[in-house]
Chains A and B, each alone.
Chain A
């Protein structure tokens, strides 16, 4: 006789969601925002080598919060998917929406069927061009995918940071202004984040195929002044 206890689907989902949210809330947040010429991703990250932001493809970037090993595995899968798709078809056929959908399906599967849900939240940013628009896709731990028009906040304190950022940057601005507002929103009124603990990446056209670029500390300092 096996000792199975009945757990209602509602209870199960609630427990799993709570578990994932707790895990995500432990990490620091990320702001992804569209500015007048591109997309900027700003993470509070005390580590200079364990990145939360990464290049995926010519016009696509990735950002993840939560458990590092879990989102880094998703990041690698995304790069493989993009490079594999571009190699099979053409570089023009690599679409962030398709990738975001795959992530959503995988996270959804893990949430309902996995041993435990993944404690991550990810952002896929696409810089627009002739073929596609500029987009920010946020994918939550349970596979909910949302397409945000202006900015996205990932992580535990997302709601507060979101309000702060929305109040300070109601419309598209320059990179410097967007970055300033994003950092201020991440820090809140009582705190300043040292530049060495910021990880910043941008997608911007510079006449080259690859549009992703990490901003060095001095560049960030310059932009924040």
Chain B
């Protein structure tokens, strides 16, 4: 690639996608790929941030992978989770991370959280309307202007919707959503939010064949992430294991019955 210089009237500005399309670095293909997908990721707001929990399993006709990372830091204060086509989703993660960094370097300032959420809309729209490999992300982060955690979800055509409480994506979301609806309160603290998020994911893994649960044999656990004023922080394997162990023990006591006081 030569030095990409542009005249002022057709300069692509700080948008990496606008630049990459001009250079032909990003293209949408007509060729169908094996559609590996199905997932559960939840994001929920609590008093001073957001919590994200996501499973690790990639599913085709069989389990394609047990340790996929479906949540990544898009930048220091933003988490991005993917569901749908694994190929397109991972590409979306890369492109998004790079785009936010590109904007920062070009302008010496960060995009607002809302700006980041809106930036994804046309990318999702273009992908989903031009390929048979749909991708649906979930964006959550700490808004440094309003000093609160915020959650954004998308529809298949790229529409961006902010949620005031929580959002779920993937094939397991009905089960996760049910759990969150019953357990969610606006004044959750971070520990409660993590416990509720883990429980929602446990339920999804328990009911949806395409969502991976806690794998105590391989010690592969869902990803748990906290984003607050200090930035994006992923919980260690031990911290996650402890939480899923607690749920599993409780569930063993009740012989698998989920009812009662929201086990």
- Chain A interface residues (CB < 8 Å from chain B): 51, 54-56, 73-74, 76-81, 83-88, 102-103, 105-106, 210
Residues in A whose Cβ lies below 8 Å from that of B5? 73-74, 77, 106
B16 within 8 A of A: yes
Interface pair B108/A51, CB less than 8 Å apart? yes
Q: What 8 additional pairs, Cβ within 8 angstroms, besides A79-B102, A84-B25, A86-B98?
A: A54-B108, A77-B6, A79-B106, A80-B102, A81-B3, A102-B3, A106-B3, A106-B5
Residues in A whose Cβ lies below 8 Å from that of B105? 54-56, 79, 83
The chain B residue sitting closest to A208, CB to CB, is B76
Interface pair B19/A84, CB less than 8 Å apart? yes
User: Can you list 13 pairs linking A and B with CB atoms under 8 Å apart?
Assistant: A74-B5, A76-B106, A77-B6, A80-B4, A80-B102, A84-B19, A84-B20, A84-B25, A87-B94, A88-B1, A102-B2, A105-B3, A210-B101
Interface pair B4/A84, CB less than 8 Å apart? yes
Q: Rank and list the top 3 A-B pairs by shortest CB-CB distance, nearest first.
A: A102-B3, A80-B4, A77-B5
- Chain B interface residues (CB < 8 Å from chain A): 1-6, 11, 16, 19-20, 23, 25, 94-95, 98, 101-102, 105-106, 108
A44 to B19 CA separation, bound complex (whole angstroms): 32
Interface pair B2/A84, CB less than 8 Å apart? no
The chain A residue sitting closest to B109, CB to CB, is A49
Interface pair A83/B3, CB less than 8 Å apart? no
Interface pair B4/A87, CB less than 8 Å apart? no
Residues in B whose Cβ lies below 8 Å from that of A210? 101
Residues in B whose Cβ lies below 8 Å from that of A103? 3
A140 to B6 CA separation, bound complex (whole angstroms): 21
> Could you tell me the distance in whole angstroms from the C-beta of B201 to the nearest C-beta in chain A?
29
A77 to B14 CA separation, bound complex (whole angstroms): 11
A79, A81, A106, A210 interface centre (most CB from chain B within 10 Å) = A79
A55 to B108 CA separation, bound complex (whole angstroms): 9
> Could you tell me the distance in whole angstroms from the C-beta of A221 to the nearest C-beta in chain B?
21
A51 to B106 CA separation, bound complex (whole angstroms): 11
The chain A residue sitting closest to B12, CB to CB, is A80
Interface pair A88/B25, CB less than 8 Å apart? yes
Interface pair B1/A81, CB less than 8 Å apart? yes
Residues in B whose Cβ lies below 8 Å from that of A79? 102, 105-106
Residues in B whose Cβ lies below 8 Å from that of A77? 3-6
Given contact pairs A54-B105, A80-B19, A87 touches B25 in the complex (Cβ within 8 A): yes
A56 to B106 CA separation, bound complex (whole angstroms): 9
Residues in B whose Cβ lies below 8 Å from that of A78? 3
Residues in A whose Cβ lies below 8 Å from that of B3? 77-78, 81, 102-103, 105-106
Residues in B whose Cβ lies below 8 Å from that of A85? 1
